[in-house]
Amino acid sequence: MATICRPAIAVPENVITMEETLEMAKQVHSGSPQLPLALRLITNTGVQKRHIIQPLERTLRHPGFETRNKIYEREAKRRVPPVVQQALANAELTARDIDAIIYVSCTGFMMPSMTAWLINTMGFRTDTRQIPIAQLGCAAGAAAINRAHDFCVAHPRANVLIVACEFCSLCYQPTDGDVGSLLSDGLFGDAVAATVVRGEGGTGVHLERNEAYLIPDTEEWISYDVKDTGFHFRLDKRVPGTMEPLAPVLKDVVRRQNWDVQNLDFYIIHAGGPRILDDLCKFLGVAPEEFRFSRTTLTQYGNIASAVVLDSLARMFAENAVTDGARGIIAGFGPGITAEVAVGSWTVHESEFHFEEKLAEAAAI
């Protein structure tokens, strides 16, 4: 059994609103012939605000790739530990209980991985497995859940910590004026998320099946150009249309579980943008309200890359409306074009269930 417990999320203190984003784009990219189209696309994202690790005026500067990567390392070491501590508390475990750490990020680079620093700094055992994932982009959050599930199947009763650390603002390139770059400037935000997949016990989504799929010959549709100035994000105009070929994949995964994708109780979907969510609703035959957790993540935080599915999952926990046995799907999409899909059902750990019963009984007396 592998159960994904309640995630912990933290976003930086610096906030940029939709209005500030549009004004910034007009000032910095006033000479770009693509600006009018980009402004319309940014407005249509519905992203009301995003959080970034540096104030806007510093974000807009480019001190060089070396300096930016040092900022990534410094901020990751400052911001990740509190989120990890909360995720461990949510799962009612300690660092010593963790058997593997999966660390996902596509916005900075460290070697040794951040996993080594966490083990040395936060009291994890020295035999903890390290599984860093750096090149799956936005799909990495769902991929991490699936690899944690696989690990727990291979190692019964093991516990896996997942950490997603995405500082997308460090990838801002002031000289890039193409539509894809301008749109990404108004879409992506920064966040740190963590969760624990317990091999035994825990309240959350009991993971029952996971699969992956890659759309052939789409490697260049979402990519990085790696230059002296760092990571330059490239987004092909065909990307928003990928939900049509991916929807049947999600249907098949659910059908192999003997479930119906139109009649699930919850949907945790990567919020790459509003069209991704709208098209997937249409092709799956699901009401837009069913994607409310993902839509709220997009509206309040923007596209926070691999952290999206964890934040959306945390919102479902916070709503506290899922009942024992409820069935659902988790899906992330990213470069490749890659889809990582998991299905599972809500489970309440027996000891926690009895504890809640006792609380209810005490309140009734």
Q: What is the DSSP string of 254-266?
A: HHHTT--GGG-SE
204 burial class (0-12, 13-18, 19+ CB within 10 angstroms)? buried
Backbone phi, psi, residue 362, to 5°: -65, -40
71-102 burial by CB neighbour count: b if 16+ within 10 A, else e? bbeebbeebbbebbebbbebbbbebebbbbbb
Q: Would you name the residues annotated as active-site residues?
A: 138
- Alpha carbon dihedral 130, 134, 136, 141, in 10-degree steps, equals 50
294/271 Cα distance (integer angstroms): 5
107/220 Cα distance (integer angstroms): 18
Q: Is the dihedral of CA 41, 43, 47, 49 positive or negative?
A: positive
